[in-house]
Amino acid sequence: MLKLGVNIDHVATVREARYRGMGHGEPDPVAAALICEAAGAQGITAHLREDRRHIQDRDVWRLREVIQTRLNLEMANTPEMVGIALKLKPDIICIVPEHRLEVTTEGGLDVVAAEAALTETCKKMHAAGIEVSLFIGPDAGQIEASARTGAQFIELHTGQFAEKFTAAELAAPTPGIELQRLVEAAKLAHSLGLQVNAGHGLNYENLPALFAVPHLVELNIGHSIVSRAITDGLGAAVKEMLNLMAGYPQ
């Protein structure tokens, strides 16, 4: 069965928009993680960024304490993050490139260029019982290099697929070019013994098209789920506030 890891970064983004630097506030990404688990999600993903723009250190420690499924810590391959991961002991880390000016993770890792450093991190994580996934574009060279690092997983970057997706693709007799790249990448990764996850930009419209990609283990999805929760929950939230205001004594 295809597993779902819910990325809760955007819950923290909303909290930080109002409560930055306060050490508390709503919505709480840890409470959100528990709701995701109760709804059946098989994992929780949180990206602790160098600039701490959404998820904070206290969030990942509380997540480690309370979640019952798998904790996937997304992180850059920096000494600071490697140190945190080795202490935190998430079930798995997903190494991503990180650039200060990007809105979200915009491209895949260049594993070819960073092979030695990534191999070193894989060794440290494996010695601590932590699995490693590398977030990469659907590129044969990157997949081959990923296999050489000793990582158990790759996460295929589905951003290009999601960006170019049109509803017509669902009915098309053959997959479009971006989908075909993911299909070929998944086949190659599987043949090299890598387990294949995927994520970025997946939503309720484009997801069915991804069924053409073989060997998928887990999808990491954040934005579309948090967006859907806001629109689906907004009516109830407004009604609750109006009920409270109805108590005004005039």
Positions in 27-66 near ligand PXP (CB under 6 A): 47
d(CA 220, CA 126): 22
201 binds ligand PXP (CB under 6 A): yes
Instruction: Verify whether residue 200 is a known catalytic residue.
Output: yes
Count of beta carbons in the 10 Å neighbourhood of residue 236: 9
- x/- string (CB under 6 A) for ligand PXP, residues 221-250? xxxx--------------------------
Nearer to ligand PXP, 2 or 172 (CB): 2
In the set 105, 121, 146, 149, which binds ligand PXP (CB under 6 A)?
A: 105
The structure tokens listed for 207 are 């997801």
Among 209, 226, 137, which residue's Cα sits nearest to residue 166?
209
Instruction: Verify whether residue 47 is a known catalytic residue.
Output: yes
Nearer to ligand PXP, 9 or 178 (CB): 9
In the set 96, 111, 136, 182, which binds ligand PXP (CB under 6 A)?
A: 96
The structure tokens listed for 122 are 């894989």
In the set 41, 67, 74, 181, which binds ligand PXP (CB under 6 A)?
A: 74
Amino acid type, 147 = A
Amino acid type, 206 = N
Among 105, 36, 109, 116, which residue's Cα sits nearest to residue 70?
36
In the set 42, 104, 152, 195, which binds ligand PXP (CB under 6 A)?
A: 104
77 binds ligand PXP (CB under 6 A): no
What are the backbone dihedrals phi and psi of residue 6, each rounded to the nearest 5 degrees, phi first? -95, 125
Positions in 156-195 near ligand PXP (CB under 6 A): none
- 207 Ramachandran zone, left/alpha/beta (phi>0; psi -120 to 50): alpha
Integer angstrom CA distances of residue 65 from 54, 58, 90, 191: 19, 11, 10, 36
In the set 63, 81, 145, 202, which binds ligand PXP (CB under 6 A)?
A: 202
d(CA 74, CA 145): 20
Instruction: Verify whether residue 126 is a known catalytic residue.
Output: no
Active-site residues, by number, are 47, 74, 200
Residues at the contact surface with ligand PXP, assessed by CB under 6 A: 7, 9, 47, 74, 94, 96, 104-105, 135, 155, 199-202, 220-224
